[in-house]
Amino acid sequence: MPLRPWSPIPIQDDGEPLLDLPAGLWRLDPHPYQALGAPYGEGVSPFRLRRGVIERLERAQALLRQRRPEWRLAIFDAWRPIAVQAFMVRHAFAEACRLRGLDPRGTGPAHRAVAAEVDRFWAPPSSDPATPPPHSTGAAVDLTLADAQGQPLAMGGAIDAIGPIAEPGYYAAAPAGSEAAAWHGRRLLLAEVMAGAGFAQHPNEWWHFSHGDQLWAWRRSEPRALYGRVDGAVAAGGGA
């Protein structure tokens, strides 16, 4: 798999621990990858992030409440160890093959095209400390908007969707007053409050934001990333 444009950016990890998300940040349960059997390990929670990232998420939630007091951020996924990244890349490839009527065990041109498409959305499960997948650093979060009861709002495409519908501006040309225009407005609002708290958005995914990893450094022209890969064994705060 090719390197990302942010892969050459150096990492100088500041040593911040992973912490459990506080109760004030809404989690979407059951966790989707745990429900698939992803290998997190017993008692290990995916709902953890670096301390500074959590503080910025809380700031983003406050910004959202200023504009839409009845809405909240809803966390879909956060920290992801390498073993889970590898599991989910395989799962995404198999699902994409299934939707196209392909046997995922194949290796022909159609399978290579599927693999290239999956690679646009799922980072390689690199074990090289110089090129960690964003979620393995505790700096990246997948999230959406939800109502006061925690019910996710329609955003015009599911989290982890593969294809153009995942792109943040997919509905930008939607006619005013249409349902698609409402989806675009919600995507814009999410991006604005996250940017206001210091996050950078993945260029291909309306739901993926990070602070302090290589992708963030690339998008903000920072000279270095603040966070590298972090293992659950050295995390603080335990599981949930």
Residue 106 has a pLDDT of 87
Average pLDDT over residues 174-199: 98
Query: What is the average per-residue pLDDT within 208-214?
Result: 98
The yes-or-no answer on residue 16 being catalytic is: no
pTM: 0.92
The residue whose two tokens read 């979060």 is 141
Q: Would the pLDDT of 236 be above 80?
A: no
Q: Once rounded to an integer, what is the mean pLDDT over residues 92-118?
A: 89
Domains of the chain: 18-81+129-234 (3.30.1380)
Buried-state track 193-217, b at ≥16 Cβ within 10 A, e below 16: bbeebbbbbbeebbbbbbbbbbbbb
Assess whether pLDDT exceeds 80 at residue 3.
no
**CA-based radius of gyration for the chain:** 17
Q: What would the mean pLDDT of 107-135 be, rounded to a whole number?
A: 91
**What pLDDT sits at residue 237?**
44
**What average pLDDT does range 64-75 have in this prediction?**
98
Question: Are 90 and 233 spatial neighbours (Cβ–Cβ below 8 Å)?
Answer: no
Please report, as a single letter, which amino acid is at residue 30: P
Among candidates 85, 111, 108, 76, which has minimal Cα distance to 190?
76
Q: Which is the catalytic residue, given 42, 58, 205, 222?
A: 205
